[in-house]
């Protein structure tokens, strides 16, 4: 976790109510008196993420950048079930979110009086999990008397590389590769998104996870499969490169998982053969993603490619994309590995940019399990 300067301990006070902390859990120090704009020199936003199996909170400041962030992964909670159990996810978010908010505010040396807004993931995701973040964020914003904004989770992923020291400038093409989505998006600015192509079936991360499961690598097995592939030899397993022979920018990954299943059924595999299979699978996914990303750069004439989402942590994908883009005079931008996967820093940033752009919404719990990215519009200015 990133830490900010030491400072006053934040409280969860209600406006106009003197000392009435929302949470009594050992918080000392002052609660927020109804603030004036003068008390808030920096544009500082609290971000909350709870759309799936990560609980996260972060504080982002428009001038100083990211001040603090924390993520808790519920992997251990769901592992035995081989996938995320929505009800367990929601309950765990409830347990962790408020203490985590307190921790990041403290680490950021921030009191509620310093905040200009609260941003939370409003969708897409698991509806119960989203509702927890929405309820916490809307209540805190109401209590603190600051604006609140519901952020599209994928917009967070798309903008995540802007948290890094050398951020990309608009416009760029984004390759979004997560457990739930595989998408190529032309990004002209905040809220100006054109979907160029997407997966017609499994997402890239989902294909990694399902194949990892077949190999007995547990859940979510994407990173474990990639680690196993490091030991594997290329060319031993020749998996199909789905939809590469066709024009267009859509993807299809479900056939790959089937090919892996058939190969595993054929005969028992020793450790080296398992690694070779993992390598063959990874090469097929990476080849496909690289080829389509290059096609998207060509089709749009953009020279910057942003890679976001959990599969963006894949080392082979990173090195292959870097090579291929450099050969075409384009540059690839990534969030740091920890911000490829779900986090609240990207939500604080996206929400912060929208609030700075004058976007406002009334108090209401916003949570949408499904929410097409291209329904978004830019903020007023
Ligand atoms: O973006 P993310 O954290 O969650 C979603 O919003 O879906 O992405 C998680 C996905 C999982 O499917 C995980 O297996 C995959 O990213 N993943 C990887 C790697 N690290 C995480 N896939 C391939 N190689 C990796 N190194
Ligand atoms: Zn995600």
Model confidence at 298: pLDDT above 60: yes
Gap from CA of 175 to ligand 1 centroid (Å) = 13
Q: Which two tokens stand for residue 305?
A: 């490619």
- The Cα–Cα gap between 235 and 283 comes to 9
Ligand 1 atom nearest residue 315's Cα: 26
Q: Who lines ligand 1 at CB under 6 A?
A: 52, 178-180, 205, 208-209, 220, 222-223, 226, 309-311, 313-314, 341-342
Gap from CA of 339 to ligand 2 centroid (Å) = 10
Looking at the structure of the chain, the number of domains it has is 2
pLDDT band for 10, please (50, 70, 90 cuts). Answer: very low
Q: Are residues 246 and 194 in the same domain?
A: yes
26 in a domain, yes or no? no
The residue behind tokens 């367990």 is 88
Cβ 115 vs Cβ 143: under 8 Å: no
Gap from CA of 52 to ligand 1 centroid (Å) = 12
Gap from CA of 252 to ligand 2 centroid (Å) = 19
* HSE-up (13 A, CA, CB side) for residue 72: 20
pLDDT band for 46, please (50, 70, 90 cuts). Answer: very high
pLDDT at residue 1, as a whole number: 42
Burial class of residue 114, CB neighbours in 10 A (0-12, 13-18, 19+): buried
Work out whether the CA dihedral 208, 214, 219, 224 comes out positive or negative: negative
pLDDT digits (tens, 9 = 90+) for 234-247: 999 989 887 787 88
Q: Are residues 96 and 188 in the same domain?
A: no
Q: Are residues 325 and 356 in the same domain?
A: no
pLDDT digits (tens, 9 = 90+) for 136-192: 999 999 999 999 999 999 999 999 999 999 999 999 999 999 998 999 999 999 999
Q: Are residues 327 and 355 in the same domain?
A: no
pLDDT at residue 93, as a whole number: 97
Cβ 151 vs Cβ 354: under 8 Å: yes
Of the two residues 122 and 15, the one the predictor is more confident about is 122
For residue 32, which of 98, 110, 97 has the smallest C-alpha distance? 110
Each as own residue / partner, the long-range contacts of residues 70-78 (CB below 8 Å, 24 or more positions apart, any chain) are 70/1, 70/100, 70/103, 70/104, 70/107, 70/344, 71/338, 71/341, 71/342, 71/343, 71/344, 72/96, 72/100, 75/219, 75/220, 77/53, 78/53, 78/219
Rounded to the nearest integer, the mean pLDDT of the chain is 88
Q: Are residues 65 and 179 in the same domain?
A: no
Ligand 1 atom nearest residue 220's Cα: 14
Model confidence at 33: pLDDT above 50: no
Q: Are residues 207 and 325 in the same domain?
A: yes
For residue 373, which of 160, 187, 172 has the smallest C-alpha distance? 187
Which of 133, 153, 205 maximizes ligand 1 atoms within 8 Å of its Cβ, making it the mutation to test the pocket?
205
Gap from CA of 16 to ligand 1 centroid (Å) = 44
Q: Among the bound ligands, name the one nearest to the CA of residue 154.
A: 2
Cβ 50 vs Cβ 132: under 8 Å: yes
Q: What is the three-class DSSP state of 121?
A: strand
Which of 124, 341, 347 maximizes ligand 1 atoms within 8 Å of its Cβ, making it the mutation to test the pocket?
341
Gap from CA of 97 to ligand 1 centroid (Å) = 22
pTM (predicted TM-score): 0.86
Q: Which two tokens stand for residue 76?
A: 């251990």
Gap from CA of 288 to ligand 1 centroid (Å) = 17
Q: Are residues 267 and 325 in the same domain?
A: yes
Of the two residues 2 and 327, the one the predictor is more confident about is 327
Q: Are residues 221 and 136 in the same domain?
A: no
Gap from CA of 10 to ligand 2 centroid (Å) = 29
The residue behind tokens 């017609």 is 200
For residue 170, which of 300, 294, 302 has the smallest C-alpha distance? 302
Model confidence at 39: pLDDT above 70: no
Q: Are residues 330 and 345 in the same domain?
A: no
Cβ neighbours of 19 (radius 10 Å): 10
pLDDT at residue 41, as a whole number: 61
Which of 74, 158, 161, 208 maximizes ligand 1 atoms within 8 Å of its Cβ, making it the mutation to test the pocket?
208
User: 283 preceded by cis ω (within 30°)?
Assistant: no
Q: Among the bound ligands, name the one nearest to the CA of residue 316.
A: 1
Cβ neighbours of 291 (radius 10 Å): 16
Cβ 57 vs Cβ 48: under 8 Å: yes
63 in a domain, yes or no? yes
81-94: average pLDDT: 93
- 272: containing domain: 171-334
CATH no. for residue 291? 3.30.420.40
Q: Are residues 204 and 250 in the same domain?
A: yes
Model confidence at 314: pLDDT above 70: yes
19 in a domain, yes or no? no
The residues, ordered by sequence, that sit 6+ positions from 224 with a Cβ below 8 Å of its Cβ are 212, 217, 218
150 in a domain, yes or no? yes
pLDDT digits (tens, 9 = 90+) for 99-117: 999 999 999 999 999 999 9
Of the two residues 365 and 98, the one the predictor is more confident about is 98
Q: Which two tokens stand for residue 65?
A: 């950048």
Model confidence at 346: pLDDT above 60: yes
Ligand 1 atom nearest residue 342's Cα: 3
15 in a domain, yes or no? no
Which of 74, 83, 222 maximizes ligand 1 atoms within 8 Å of its Cβ, making it the mutation to test the pocket?
222
Q: Are residues 126 and 252 in the same domain?
A: no
pLDDT at residue 326, as a whole number: 93
114 in a domain, yes or no? yes
187 in a domain, yes or no? yes
5 in a domain, yes or no? no
Q: Are residues 176 and 323 in the same domain?
A: yes
């Amino acid at each position: 976790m990133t830490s900010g300067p030491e400072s006053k301990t934040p409280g969860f006070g209600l406006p106009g109510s003197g000392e009435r902390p929302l949470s009594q859990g050992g918080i000392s120090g002052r609660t927020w008196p109804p603030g004036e704009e003068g008390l808030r020199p920096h544009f500082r936003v609290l971000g909350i993420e709870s759309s799936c199996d990560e609980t996260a909170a972060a504080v982002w400041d428009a001038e100083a950048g990211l001040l603090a962030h924390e993520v808790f992964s519920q992997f251990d909670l769901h592992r035995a079930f081989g996938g995320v159990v929505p009800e367990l996810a929601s309950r765990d978010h409830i347990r962790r979110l408020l203490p985590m908010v307190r921790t990041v505010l403290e680490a950021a040396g921030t009191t509620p009086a310093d905040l200009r807004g609260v941003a939370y993931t409003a969708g897409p995701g698991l509806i119960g999990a989203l509702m927890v973040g929405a309820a916490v964020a809307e209540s805190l914003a109401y209590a603190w008397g600051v604006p609140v904004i519901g952020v599209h989770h994928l917009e967070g992923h798309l903008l995540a590389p802007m948290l890094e020291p050398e951020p990309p400038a608009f416009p760029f093409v984004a390759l979004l590769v997560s457990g739930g989505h595989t998408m190529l998006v032309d990004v002209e600015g905040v809220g100006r998104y054109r979907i160029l192509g997407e997966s017609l079936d499994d997402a890239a991360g989902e294909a990694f996870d399902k194949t990892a499961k077949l190999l007995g690598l547990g859940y979510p097995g994407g990173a474990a499969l990639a680690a196993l592939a490091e030991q594997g030899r290329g060319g031993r397993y020749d998996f199909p490169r789905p939809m590469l022979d066709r024009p267009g920018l859509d993807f299809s990954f479900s056939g790959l998982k089937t090919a892996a299943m058939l190969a595993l059924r054929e005969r028992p595999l020793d450790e080296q053969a398992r690694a070779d299979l993992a390598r063959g699978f990874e090469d097929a996914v990476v080849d496909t993603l690289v080829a389509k990303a290059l096609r998207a750069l060509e089709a749009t004439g953009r020279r910057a490619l942003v890679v976001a989402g959990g599969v963006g942590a894949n080392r082979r994908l990173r090195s292959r994309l870097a090579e291929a883009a450099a050969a075409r005079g384009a540059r690839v931008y990534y969030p740091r590995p920890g911000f490829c996967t779900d986090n609240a820093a990207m939500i604080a940033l996206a929400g912060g940019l929208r609030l700075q752009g004058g976007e406002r919404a009334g108090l209401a719990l916003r949570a949408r399990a499904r929410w097409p990215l291209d329904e978004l519009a830019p903020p007023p200015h």
